[in-house]
Structure 1
Amino acid sequence: MKLRLASPHLAERLHRPLRFGRRWRGHELALRLVQLAVLVVVGAIGAKLMADGVALLIGTIARMVG
């Protein structure tokens, strides 16, 4: 199989950071900060759910053994 490099135009287009549309151009920093806040909240909720699940699992195993 032959290895082909992407054309410079295509490579430049695919490796640029994603940007918001023209309508939101001036608010990009605010939107990125909102995106970061949502990510932190979802991460905290996910971490709490995982911790509760592990605690429940350990309690169940302890009751089965003891």
Structure 2
Amino acid sequence: MAKQPNQTQAGTNAQQVQKQNQQSAGAQKQFGTEFASETNAQEVRQQNAQSQAKKSQNSGQQR
């Protein structure tokens, strides 16, 4: 069987795969910025600190 241009030995169309990868990468960037813009970093830090304080308090009571 003769190898077609732009195809691997297994018959994969390299250009098609590259096109799909580019489309996929574009979609991931879109979601990354969407969720990042909705996150309040200061609020998350405060919640983490409160959670850590509760953990410390609870572990002290169990001993």
TM-score (norm 1): 0.46
> Radius of gyration: which is bigger?
2
Higher helix share: 1
